[in-house]
Amino acid sequence: MRIGIIGAGALGLYYGALLQRAGHEVRFLLRRDYEAITRGGLTVTSPEGDFHLAVVKGFRHPDPIGPVDLVLVGLKTFANDRLAELVAPLVGPQTAILTLQNGLGSEELLAAAFGPQRVLGGVAFLCANRGEPGTVHHLAQGRIRLGEFGGGLSPRAEQLAETFRQTGISCQAVADLKKARWEKLVWNIPFNGLCALTGLATDRLLCHAPTREQIRALMEEVIAAGNAQTLSSPIGEDFAEQMLTVTAGMGAYRPSMMIDRLEKRPMELGTIYEIPLQRAAQRGVSMPRVALLHALLALQAAD
């Protein structure tokens, strides 16, 4: 399969490297890492085994990448104003587009630009950070849940999930992408925001009982909002506890929004906070703690 990676941060580099190692032709749209990767290849460090790709097809611009079978989008959503522009040169008659971006709204943008029949979405439970140029550090996890933007469990989604599994990535095709998105927000909303505001990793927040209780309260607000969105089945009452347990196993993890803030980059406030708050309000659900967290993050972003 010919695969184009738009958004070669930690997520795009890691999954793209595994797909290339499994024999697929992968083409990366690169910015910061272009010189290092085109000269010296791409290195992945991982508790599952380090590896190095000596030859990697990297491009500064999307036009020479050309049409591919699959576009994998890992672009940070604060750059979604350029999403259609970056993806368009990679789209041919049979191209599928899979976005693994955070939050809500990216599938709708892609569907408007290229047609809903092309679009799949997915959520990645990945702990990974970029190292020096040409290096990505996989810390833990990596599983993906993906599905059709239009809903339903399609043969295409099943086949794509199997493609990922053959690379060593745990991947599940789901019939209800909307539910998968809201389940990921149950984690993303509290931990991305609180870690970004405090500068503390997830383990520090969890080991302090009052903070842990506020995290749970944030999660419960998100679950209530998600369950108001006509999901195929409700997010379970025990889901918050499951997420707390999973997070405890990550150790001192620094979420992407925390790193973005520390490195003075924009934060993904629109898709992780603003759109979910809007969709909750449309269903008559209030999320006061989430609204406060978003207001504080927006205040920090304005500085």
What amino acid positions are annotated as catalytic residues?
184
Q: At what angle do helices 288-302 and 209-227 cross, to 10 degrees?
A: 110
For CA atoms 53, 142, 247, 270, the dihedral sign is positive
Q: Are 73 and 87 in contact (CB under 8 A)?
A: yes
Round to whole Å and give the CA distance between 73 and 144.
13
CA–CA distance, 294 with 27 (Å, rounded to integer) = 36
Q: How crowded is residue 92: how many other Cβ atoms within 10 Å of its Cβ?
A: 11
Number of H helices, E strands in the chain: 13, 10
